[in-house]
Structure 1
Amino acid sequence: MQQRHLGSTGLKVSRLGLGSMTWGRDTDEHEARDQLVSFVEAGGTLLDTAAGYANGDSERVIGSLLGDVVPRDEIVLATKAGIAHLRGERETNASRGFLLSNLDASLRRLKVDHVDLWQVHTWVDDCPLEETLGALDHAVSSGRVRYVGISNYTGWQSAQAATWQRAVPGRAVPISNQVEYSLLSRGVEAEVVPAAQALGLGILPWSPLGRGVLTGKYRTGTPADSRAASPHFASFVGRHLNDRSERIVEAIVRAGEGLGWSALEVALAWVRDAPGVTAPIIGARTAEQLKASLLVEECELPPEIRQALDDVSSTNAPET
């Protein structure tokens, strides 16, 4: 698998990242092991998780596999802090104390002394930005983190964070922004992607397959084993099940038929090679699904197909 620099740094990562949001809940340790083996054998290096995934169980599963399935130094290990589920409700907190406590807990669950990329999971309005960024500085200076990033930040939020950190030499400057980006979610192209390119941040798209919709699996209904049928993800996927997505999916399917590719390969190749993107984060329910995604390494969209998909998925595309 090809490697790309993450942002304007010397850190290289595989141009596909492996996501683990469902590990420890919908994906058990045995299935996670199979996925990690398939990913590494394909040349993948970027493994992404978060303290809030499955209430920490995603990190626990990874901790049980690192060193056993793959040597620690062959993985670029990324996690996030700032979102938790406490007392049965989702909570966001970007305070220094909360973030650093999250980091310590993540390191224990992952069974490592440092992570390669530590990301603030979301912007929090009621916490001073300088406090949040101070936590990143401390994490790097203490040796627990090698690089830092942000997640789900808008264009102006990204610019403010990066500019603040660059104002004083020695601060930990964000090198990436992880955001939702796919043929169904192109809003980041207006400000987030240009800001990232101007500031030297790599874009790490989450849900690059439109929460699974772009695979075409929902064209004729909701499969019983799909995320849309899961109590955890029904509303998450349902937001992308509409008339616009149907048009886009049909265009992807037609493109795939002409190229001899799957709809998944078409959609994933489009976002992987979009301007500013370093590595889409792919997630899968099974190792077989993951292997299907990894086949995209051999795929490169012809310019005319990319343009046609740009046109049909544009937010300004005419209604039909």
Structure 2
Amino acid sequence: MKYSVLGPTGVRVSRICVGTATFGVAPGPQESDGVVGAALDLGINFFDTADVYGSTSTFDRPGAPPAAERESAEEILGRSLAGRRDEVVLATKSGERRFDPDAGLSRRYIIQQVEQSLRRLRTDRIDLYYAHFPDPNTPLEQTLAVYDDLIRQGKLRYVALSNHTAWQMTEALWIADDRRLVSAPVAAQVMYSLLDRSAEKELTAACVRFGLSIIPYAPLHGGLLADLSILDRPIAGGKRYGGPGYSDTEIAVARRLDQLARDWGLGMQQVSLAWLLSRPAVASVIVGAETADELRANAAAADVELTKEQLDVVSALTAGTTS
């Protein structure tokens, strides 16, 4: 496994980060232990979760227990890491407002959620804590101030922003500097893949300029950039979260990428992830895996180095799609 330094922290994180959004559904609670164990065996030391993962109705699917009967992804991950917590960099989030009208990035809510996450994860500190989404009702100054307090208390190590714009990231850095806070964001988590390059419009430049890391989620675009057999599944892509399936344009790009990967003797997911890991400021990519074998296949991408010519060919598949 290869590693990168997370922003300005000096902390080394594996180039592959295990995402846990569907822990408790696919993989189920027992299978999750196998996925976490396989990750540790592969040298993966970076795990990503959130206070709402696993146990909300968004992740419901046929054959899985209803949300009210499921453990949260944090609880499952905390149990799976028992005895090995100190070997990993643990990231979680709060501030997703779709499921709770009181949620957001206020002082009251953040303190409440940090305490609950610490309990569910069976730990005394969180290595990287994200503001999951912007909160239009709470000034960013208040959010960064409570993060500053929690870092000084030893409950958080570093903080970051998720699903925020480049100007919001820049504003957060300015506030932290102006108020001499220790809670300046060190990374940006954002949806980013060959089929969604909107981060390249402004966020990439901001992160490069300020020395921050980009941590992409959905790097395989819901599985389409990993294996075309995903098209045969009744639940694929955005359908997993109640949205639409794939567009004809997305499928056409995936088919071309699949042929390139075959020509190069690689798996499509390896090419997809290797391309993304080559992009400026990208430190690690978050991959979800339903099985240990699926994780191993994705993790192999960390060892793949495409030539400049190959990278250019892949980039050309979706050139001009950053807006």
TM-score, length-normalised on structure 1? 0.90
Tell me what 2:67 maps to.
none
* Aligned counterparts of 1:168 and 1:84: Cα–Cα separation in 2: 27
Identity %: 31
Aligned residue among 119, 122, 145 for 1:111: 122
Task: Report how far residue 228 of structure 1 moved.
Answer: 4.5
Tell me what 2:12 maps to.
12
Tell me what 2:73 maps to.
58
Q: Report matched runs for 1:124-203 at 5 Å.
A: 124-203=135-214
Task: Report how far residue 216 of structure 1 moved.
Answer: 3.3
* Aligned counterparts of 1:257 and 1:157: Cα–Cα separation in 2: 41
Q: How many residues matched?
A: 307
Q: Give yes or no for the alignment of 1:308 onto 2:313.
A: yes
Q: Give yes or no for the alignment of 1:233 onto 2:246.
A: no
* Aligned counterparts of 1:99 and 1:113: Cα–Cα separation in 2: 16
8 A contact 1:52–1:84 mirrored in 2: no
Tell me what 1:30 maps to.
30
* Aligned counterparts of 2:102 and 2:181: Cα–Cα separation in 1: 31
Tell me which amino acid in the other structure corresponds to 1:59. Answer: E
Spell out, residue by residue over 1:153-204, the C-alpha distance to the aligned partner (whole angstroms, 9 max, x if none).
1110111011111223343111011000100110110101111111221000
Q: Give yes or no for the alignment of 1:295 onto 2:291.
A: no
8 A contact 2:228–2:255 mirrored in 1: no
Task: Report how far residue 234 of structure 1 moved.
Answer: 4.6
* Aligned counterparts of 2:242 and 2:260: Cα–Cα separation in 1: 28
8 A contact 1:155–1:191 mirrored in 2: yes
8 A contact 2:192–2:218 mirrored in 1: yes
* Aligned counterparts of 1:113 and 1:170: Cα–Cα separation in 2: 22
Tell me what 2:112 maps to.
101
Task: Report how far residue 28 of structure 1 moved.
Answer: 1.6
Tell me what 1:222 maps to.
232
* Aligned counterparts of 1:255 and 1:8: Cα–Cα separation in 2: 36
* Aligned counterparts of 2:98 and 2:321: Cα–Cα separation in 1: 37
8 A contact 1:247–1:312 mirrored in 2: no
Tell me which amino acid in the other structure corresponds to 1:66. Answer: L
Task: Report how far residue 255 of structure 1 moved.
Answer: 1.5
* Aligned counterparts of 2:242 and 2:269: Cα–Cα separation in 1: 20
* Aligned counterparts of 2:16 and 2:302: Cα–Cα separation in 1: 9
* Aligned counterparts of 2:34 and 2:119: Cα–Cα separation in 1: 23
Tell me what 1:254 maps to.
259
* Aligned counterparts of 1:195 and 1:316: Cα–Cα separation in 2: 19
* Aligned counterparts of 2:34 and 2:137: Cα–Cα separation in 1: 41
Equivalent residue of 2:54, what SS? Answer: helix
Task: Report how far residue 138 of structure 1 moved.
Answer: 1.3
Gaps of 5+ in 2: 56-70
Q: Which moved more, 1:51-60 or 1:253-262?
A: 51-60
Tell me what 1:75 maps to.
88
Gaps of 5+ in 1: none
Task: Report how far residue 96 of structure 1 moved.
Answer: 1.0
8 A contact 1:177–1:203 mirrored in 2: yes
Tell me which amino acid in the other structure corresponds to 1:22. Answer: T
Equivalent residue of 1:300, what SS? Answer: coil
Task: Report how far residue 11 of structure 1 moved.
Answer: 1.1
Q: Which moved more, 1:279-288 or 1:22-31?
A: 22-31
